[in-house]
Amino acid sequence: MSALNTRRALLDKRLIVFGVLVGLAIRLWIAWQPTDELSWRANADDAYYYFKLAQHLGSGAGATFDGVNPTNGFHPLYALLLVPIFQYVGNDIDRGVHLALTLVALVSSVTAWPIYLAGKYVHSPLAGAIGALAHLLNPWVVVLTMTGVESAVYVCCFAWTVMAYVRWRSHEQSLHGIVLIGLLAGLTIMARSEGVLLLAGIVLDRLVVDRRMPERAIVFATLCGLFAAIVCLPWVLWSISRFGTPLQISASAIMLHSYAGMPADAIAAVEWYIGRISWFLPRYAYKILPVQSSHCTLVRGRDRAIMVDSSTIPEDSLVTCFTVFISHPAVYLYHRLL
């Protein structure tokens, strides 16, 4: 490694340490605000659903929010992480809220490391450092993290899974690497059910990459799916035994509520659905645009790095950082004005 690269690697690590300290300090400051302030300025309603659920789980009352009706309408990994906290605090709910948000702050800060490694494997250490800083210091990420729901745990598991896959993809493709990817994907699904789409995306990537040797992709998909299923199996079996379905019952309730107003007439139903899409797309398309533009920037920079020294293309990473960092707070403020 040249002296220039050594100095750059040291600078990247210092930037990450700085970002972790500042990002964690911001999150902890929010976590220890008075709970009456948190409840209407920072936390989502679902956060207190999780807190009460964890309190009942810790007291032996089971998976119930109201103490009477059992439920599986939650994402289990985050709920299980909260149980020791609310066992410790007992009836001191305020203290439990602060400690739960402290856990969320720590998990969100740790997520910077797999983001850095993934960016390093895909593009360059500088790209990884900027990605980590964008996660740590982006106001939109901080806002979402400190809502107190499962988002921080899900993003952390998601980032570790992506990092493990891109490392396996770009380095020695060993069997234990596939096992690790499968286990991490299982944890991601337990953190939030939509994590199954990440596993599907990884499998699809292997099918494309190994399209001339499909047996390799089939072995990869089988092993990843197997070890992900091992992680998810206890939850699935419990849900089926108690509720007759592996899916959260809250999902069925949301679907029923969302489509309760659909007209019976076919033409009117189509018009109703188009109206919902017309409302939905402008408000959520912005989440796709910065990710796609950032992806294109990274790929362009990576392709250029094949032909030229990577030290000549830091502007690609800076454009990526600017795109992701600016777009989310701007749209958040737009939503606040609606």
Total Cβ atoms within 10 A of residue 220? 22
Confidence (pLDDT) at 152: 95
**Distance, CA of 235 to chain centre:** 20
pLDDT digits (tens, 9 = 90+) for 184-206: 999 999 999 989 999 999 999 99
pLDDT at residue 252 greater than cutoff 80? no
Q: Which of 113, 189, 205 is nearest to 157 (CA)?
A: 189
User: pTM to 2 decimals?
Assistant: 0.79
Q: Which of 31-40, 93-102, 183-192, 323-332 has the lowest mean pLDDT?
A: 323-332
CA–CA dist 165, 162 (Å, integer): 5
Q: Do residues 273 and 262 make contact, with C-beta atoms less than 8 angstroms apart?
A: yes
CA–CA dist 229, 296 (Å, integer): 33
Query: Which token pair is 52?
Result: 């009460």
272-276, Cβ contacts within 8 angstroms, sequence gap of 24 or more:
none
User: What's the pLDDT band for 247 if we cut at 50, 70, 90?
Assistant: confident
Query: Which token pair is 157?
Result: 């598991």
Average pLDDT over residues 83-101: 94
Strand partners, 64: 70
DSSP string, 83-149: HHHHHHHTT-HHHHHHHHHHHHHHHHHHTHHHHHHHHHHHT-HHHHHHHHHHHHH-HHHHHHHTT-S
Q: What share of the chain is helix, strand, coil (3-state, %, to 5)?
A: 80, 0, 15
pLDDT at residue 133 greater than cutoff 80? yes
Q: DSSP secondary-structure letter at 259?
A: T
Domain boundaries, the chain: 3-260, 261-338
Q: Which of 35-39, 215-219, 274-278 has the lowest mean pLDDT?
A: 274-278
